[in-house]
Amino acid sequence: MTHSSDSQPRITVWNEYRHEHENPKVSAVYPQGIHRAIADGLSAHGFRQVQTATLDEPEHGLTQGVLDATDVLIWWGHKAHAEVSDEVAARVVARVLGGMGLIVLHSGHFSKVFKQLMGTGCDLKWREANDKERLWVVQPAHPIAQGVGEYIELSAEEMYGEHFDIPAPDELIFLSWFSGGEVFRSGCTFMRGSGKIFYFRPGHETYPTYFHDGIRQVIANAARWAVPTASAPRSFGNRQPLETLPETSQ
């Protein structure tokens, strides 16, 4: 196992992997699972240390050892958020605060992990009606927006609409427009502890969104951006002064 100082970040793509088994419409789009399509997109962008993990593996495939050896975790979940154990969710949150990058996709907005890190309800409006979506870049200089042009257009997607109940993001990278008239903050960054978080909206399970070139480019950009940096160590509690302090009378 190489170190995070290596130029090749270690990526773990986590997927609930239930729709693919239960809905033929989804397995037709993602025969090897959403996680495989995302992992293949990262490989196509030059990432060479990409592994996957799914809900029904022991400890959901996210043992302490796996998380300790992960620089960036990508999360897709929808119908089984409640089946993620509190213990594993807490373990992921602790790793993010300790510096692991986290990319939360689409319906992951309601995952235990994202809700705990945001501290808000994370609810939103939605509609499954083949809306066209245009994701406008609103932060052109940001590394996550590189190489996608002024906007990404998806011919059919689920609609997510404001209000999105999140804290004000540190940075807003994409703003989505939907043909039904709604808008949505669809690419948002957050810093929590030593960790970097990117929420990215697209990717409803019945659409081939994770095969789209622009979407794959954004996820690859985000994976590079979210790699832990050599940040200042976090320490808390009572401590001795760094200089000699004058005597004070109590």
CB 144 within 8 A of CB 219: no
Neighbours of 120 (CB within 10 A): 12
Neighbours of 237 (CB within 10 A): 4
Please list, in sequence order, all residues whose beta carbon lies within 8 angstroms of the beta carbon of residue 138, skipping any fewer than 6 positions away: 172, 173, 174, 175
Going 54 to 35 to 114 to 112, the CA torsion angle's sign is negative
Contact between 158 and Zn ion by CB under 5 A: the answer reads yes
CB nearer Zn ion, residue 60 or residue 109: 109
Q: Which stretch binds Zn ion (CB under 5 A): 25-33, 66-74, 150-158, 170-178?
A: 150-158
Q: Which stretch binds Zn ion (CB under 5 A): 48-56, 140-148, 174-182, 200-208?
A: 200-208
Binding string, 86-125, against Zn ion, x = CB under 5 A? ---------------------x------------------
Q: Which stretch binds Zn ion (CB under 5 A): 24-32, 38-46, 179-187, 201-209?
A: 201-209
Binding string, 19-48, against Zn ion, x = CB under 5 A? ------------------------------
Q: What is the DSSP letter of 194?
A: T
CB 223 within 8 A of CB 73: no
Contact between 204 and Zn ion by CB under 5 A: the answer reads yes
Cα separation, 184 vs 186, in Å, equals 6
CB nearer Zn ion, residue 77 or residue 195: 77
* Binding interface with Zn ion (CB under 5 A): 107, 158, 204
